């Protein structure tokens, strides 16, 4: 039996603690998973797993050799990548991303990648909540954060800037009653649109060495940025939005940039993957492609 595949099966079972879940994630039958584990134990001359009808756990020997097997697998795959550099990339890559970044920026970048590599298949899961990469068999997560999950590894591929925006109709309407917005403190009198997953409802703004943290009143809160965008477009109030989503509407005149001299905090856009999983050449190539694409195609 293929020792590289056997090593992958062992590592996955060590993470999932389930032959059935590993079979589903690696697209093989449960008896085949059992055969690979038995083959690994025969080759290493040790028992790797405790198996009962309800529970699977690593033996002390299995725990001791797990890191060595992971290192060996990484070295084996690196070697295969080196000797097969002329081979065309192929296979399925599963990606997760926020809905707003997925439809506005990720889709054109992915389609560009797939034109280069016609044998690659891509499956994208769009959700604003953080997905468990191991549980969902996700190869790559595109996430926007100031500090990414420390259990994941990866690299920043772009910068996420933000802007305060509102429709012209909203600003004209409130100018007659509340007045214009000249300073961040003026925001407390306005109808603001809140993103439920972002630092409660306090907007942090800076201008040079000046900093303001403004608690805003949000009658409408949503857990997804594109819904807030459309609320702003429909004269619902002021929204703190990523520029990758609103720059086109500002250029078209459908939204106004509120307090353009005051800058919200920048975040990084990361390509992240599980530190316990081997990184296939296709995923590595996709990360490099995304970094270059977003540098060449600023929003």
Strand order in the sheet with 120-126: 120-126, 91-97, 140-145, 267-274, 152-160
Average pLDDT over residues 214-239: 94
DSSP string computed for 154-173: EEEEEEE-EEEEE-HHHHHH
Domain boundaries, the chain: 3-83, 91-154+275-296, 162-265
Find the range with the poorest average confidence among 10-14, 112-116, 206-210, 246-250: 10-14
- Rounded CA-CA distance 222/199 in Å is 13
Is domain 3-83 in CATH 3.40.50.410, yes or no?
Answer: no
Cβ neighbours, 10 Å, residue 119: 11
Average pLDDT over residues 269-280: 78
Average pLDDT of the chain is 88
Q: Residues 70-105: pLDDT tens digits?
A: 888 877 766 665 555 546 788 899 999 999 999 999
pLDDT of residue 240: 96
Which has more pLDDT, 43 or 230?
Answer: 230
Would you identify the CATH topology of the domain 91-154+275-296? D-Maltodextrin-Binding Protein; domain 2 (3.40.190)
pTM here is: 0.71
DSSP string computed for 55-105: -EEE-HHHHHHHHHHHHHHHHHHHHHHHHTTTSPP-EEEEEEE-HHHIIII
Q: Residue 200 in 3-state DSSP?
A: coil
CATH architecture of 162-265: 3-Layer(aba) Sandwich (3.40)
pLDDT of residue 161: 97
Q: Residue 40 in 3-state DSSP?
A: helix
Establish whether domains 91-154+275-296 and 162-265 are of one fold.
yes
Q: Are 158 and 97 in contact (CB under 8 A)?
A: no
pLDDT of residue 86: 47
């Amino acid at each position: 039996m293929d020792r590289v595949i056997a090593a992958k099966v062992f590592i996955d079972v060590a993470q999932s603690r389930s032959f059935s879940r590993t079979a589903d994630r690696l697209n093989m039958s449960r008896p085949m998973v059992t055969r690979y584990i038995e083959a690994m134990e025969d080759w290493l001359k040790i028992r790797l797993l405790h198996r009962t009808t309800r529970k699977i756990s690593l033996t002390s020997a299995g725990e001791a050799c797990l890191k060595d097997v992971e290192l060996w697998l990484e070295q084996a795959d690196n070697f295969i990548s080196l000797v097969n550099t002329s081979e065309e990339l192929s296979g399925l890559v599963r990606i997760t991303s926020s809905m707003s970044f997925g439809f506005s920026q990720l889709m054109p970048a992915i389609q560009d990648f797939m034109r280069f590599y016609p044998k690659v298949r891509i499956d994208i899961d769009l959700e604003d909540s953080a997905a468990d990469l191991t549980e969902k068999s996700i190869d790559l997560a595109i996430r926007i954060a100031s500090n990414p999950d420390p259990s994941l590894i990866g690299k920043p591929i772009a910068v996420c800037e933000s802007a305060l925006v509102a429709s012209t109709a909203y600003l004209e309407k409130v100018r007659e009653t509340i007045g214009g917005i000249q300073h961040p403190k003026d925001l407390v009198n306005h109808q603001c649109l809140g993103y439920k997953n972002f630092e409660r409802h306090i907007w942090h703004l800076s201008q040079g060495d000046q900093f303001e943290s403004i608690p805003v009143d949000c009658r409408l809160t949503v857990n997804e940025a594109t819904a807030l965008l459309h609320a702003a477009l429909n004269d619902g109030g002021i929204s703190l939005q990523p520029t990758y989503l609103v720059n086109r509407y500002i250029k078209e005149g459908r939204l106004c940039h509120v307090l353009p001299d005051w800058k919200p905090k920048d975040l990084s856009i990361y390509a992240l993957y599980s530190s316990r999983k081997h990184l296939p050449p296709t995923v590595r190539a996709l990360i490099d492609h995304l970094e270059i694409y977003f540098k060449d195609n600023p929003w």
